[in-house]
Structure 1
């Protein structure tokens, strides 16, 4: 999953609290975004669709094997060869089969989790959605009988002849529980907000003990709660315990020297 510092946009909410009189709409939107950023981080940085555009590289079936192998050798089901990195490999000569396919399966791997595909552009032509599908693990599979380009002109801008660009949204979908959690946290951050009040971290904390004679009050130490990756809000913390029970800071990753990562333009 690409490095990101927060969700691309505020999560949807269904606020069950009253907005203070005189509060501007942009203030509500700002604190909703703050609540979304907090829960995005505490839940493992996986939720919420975020648009990305990549220039994938399709892995050739036989990589850098001798040309005789690629020309259609039929002496057996597997042929050992040494790739350009000096690593021994077994090349399938039966159409580059995949795990469950009897023939060649044309696919490229996308950084996941893939929420949906926005568009696929090959040589300046946007393919129809019926020309591809997404399989588990972020595999974009060509289904119209054609195959993805084995190489492309990386110096040319996307959409030009000789290029291959995939625009998609990355991240897990937000369910009703996520909406309820971000709504509760947003209401907490908005507590006390008014033209003459304060919001956010200055909102009143939960009272744990009060002695009525002498008016002695005890408030919890928020640093202890935050150190556990929790907020002190019951619905929010219950949701976090479900979606991130092991309190992971980020999604797990598996790296392979054989995997060609898609190229992503970050500037300009």
Structure 2
């Protein structure tokens, strides 16, 4: 059985109101739910019935990819920046005039990078976010690269658990 999207993990598999043990199935890449207990998946079901009733089959799973601690830190910095800008105070400078590149006040000079150059380079101006982006995508690719060959047979890859 195929599960659309990247499968992070399977929460539960319910057949006819009976929840299967996690040891009786696994997920192979790309999203293939495979039974390991020797049984087969149901071939049909009652679509009008509520999940958990006899004749039904439901798979509950979380969609997505696992992330590491650096990705969590980068997303946290970006979220914090956006939340500060959305508040009434605008304390992070999100509401500041983006046309200013140099500021002189009471003998102190500040030179700020041109935001149009930062954004055109695919960056945000936030250190952790930009560092993470340059680490995971150093060449700023817009999509993952792929190679197709009709002669290459890919091995089965177990994705979960």
TM-score by length of 2: 0.68
Describe the SS at the equivalent of 1:162. Answer: coil
Q: Which has the higher strand share?
A: 2
Q: How many angstroms does 1:194 deviate by?
A: 8.8
Please state whether the residue corresponding to 1:236 is helix, strand or coil.
helix
Q: Is the 8 A contact 2:101 2:114 kept in 1?
A: no
Aligned twin of 1:176: 69
In the alignment, structure 1 residue 233 sits paired with structure 2 residue 126: yes
Q: What do you get for the CA RMSD once the two structures are aligned?
A: 3.4
Task: For residue 210 of structure 1, report the CA deviation from its aligned partner.
Answer: 6.0
Q: Following TM superposition, by how much is the alpha carbon of 1:244 offset from its aligned partner in structure 2, in angstroms?
A: 3.8
> Which among 194, 198, 202 is matched to residue 90 of structure 2?
198
Q: In structure 1, which of residues 137, 143, 155 is the aligned counterpart of residue 48 of structure 2?
A: 155
The aligned residue for residue 143 of structure 1 is 36
Alignment of 1:2-13 (within 5 A): none
Rounded to whole Å, the distance in 2 between the matches of 1:192 and 1:109 is 42
Displacement, 1:241? 2.2
Decide whether aligned partners of structure 1 residues 160 and 244 sit closer, same or farther in structure 2, where only a CA change above 3 A counts.
Answer: farther
1:50-61 matches, within 5 Å, as none
String of CA shifts for 1:218-245, please: whole Å, max 9, x gaps. 4333244234432112221121123344
Structure 1 position 221 matched with structure 2 position 114: yes
For residues 149 and 194 of structure 1, what CA distance do their matches in structure 2 show? Answer: 51
Q: Distance in 1 between matches of 2:36 and 2:130?
A: 43
TM normalised by structure 1 equals: 0.44
Q: Distance in 1 between matches of 2:86 and 2:31?
A: 43
**Shift of residue 122 of structure 1?**
0.8
In the other structure, the counterpart of 1:110 is 3
Aligned to 1:167: 60
The SS at the match of 1:181 is: helix
> For 1:184 and 1:199, how far apart are their aligned partners in 2?
14
- Pick closer, same or farther for the CA change 1:161–1:244 going to 2, 3 Å: farther
Q: Which runs of 5+ in 2 are unaligned?
A: 147-161
Report the CA distance shift for 1:222/1:164 in structure 2 as closer, same or farther (over 3 A): same
